[in-house]
Amino acid sequence: MVNGGTVPAIAFRNSIEQIRRRYQRLAPIYPFFELVFVLPRGIRRKAVHRLGVASGDSVLEVGCGTGRNLRYLVDAVGENGRVYALDCCEQMLRNAGKLCQQSDWKNVVLLNQDAAQLELPGMVDGVLFSLSYSVMPDPRAAVEAAWKYLRSGKSLVIMDGKLATGICGRLSRPWVTWLSKNTILGDPMRLPWGDLRGFEAKLEMEEFNFGTYYICKATKNNSSLVSGGQN
């Protein structure tokens, strides 16, 4: 279960257009930032595994970027499943599209949308936010939009970075905040479990790399407060 309270967000917020322009420039070198921010080895695969999706399922990734999670999502749902990959940045999606062509993935649907205004053709069996929640101008609205399309009993997983706990977090806060703000536009103080408390869901959380990364999982109850569509 999730522990700890909600930490106030840093006093900066970017518009969807600012984010789009920044990631247009970052698209060619985006994998480099996994090294800069010391992304834990295997955490992408772990996040997809936490979704609990199976062959034939449909899954949504919100903020798919250049498609670095797609191989794991495609493997999880199989040839008969469907992967919806959403991003607001056209260049990121072009790179993801090239990856799909090279890998001959026929069941990936790329969507150029604002996550807060999400529209899907049907319900899904899992939702993944991977290193995207901390960047979005209104992550709560994005989660609510995705939650409406999530089937009851299924899970939404958020994998992202945050400040370390304890004295290390306090000492590193100025540097990490500056680096995040001036590169990927991320907010390392933005934590999802505060937003998810408004949902009737079972919450689970894991931390990695001394608390600098986490995987937060919310499983949708049958009587979820935020719902929509047909289950």
126 or 227, which is more confident: 126
* Of the listed ranges 8-22, 41-55, 93-107, 192-206, the one predicted with least confidence: 8-22
- Give strand ranges (E) for the chain: 58-62, 82-87, 108-112, 124-130, 150-161, 201-208, 213-220
The Cα-based distances of 188 to 73, 118, 143, 146 in angstroms read 25, 24, 18, 22
| Predicted pLDDT of residue 165 | 73
Write the Ramachandran bin of 63: left for phi over 0, alpha for psi from -120 to 50, otherwise beta.
left
Residue 147 has pLDDT above 90, yes or no: yes
The confidence score (pLDDT) of residue 172 equals 63
d(CA 219, CA 81): 20
CATH code for the part of the protein at 16-219: 3.40.50.150
What residues pair up with 104 in beta bridges, in sequence order? none
> Encoding tokens for residue 61?
């990734």
Please enumerate in sequence order all residues whose Cβ is within 8 A of that of 143, keeping only pairs 6 or more positions apart, or say none.
129, 133, 156, 158, 192, 195, 196
Average pLDDT over residues 183-210: 83
**pLDDT given at position 102:** 97
pLDDT of residue 58: 98
Q: What is the mean pLDDT of the chain?
A: 84
Residue type, position 88, single letter? C
**Torsions phi, psi of 223, nearest 5?**
-105, 35
Residue 47 contacts residue 206 (beta carbons within 8 Å): no
Neighbours of 56 (CB within 10 A): 12
Question: Residue 110 forms beta bridges with which residues?
Answer: 85
pTM for the structure as a whole = 0.82
Per-residue confidence (pLDDT) for residue 52, from 0 to 100 = 98
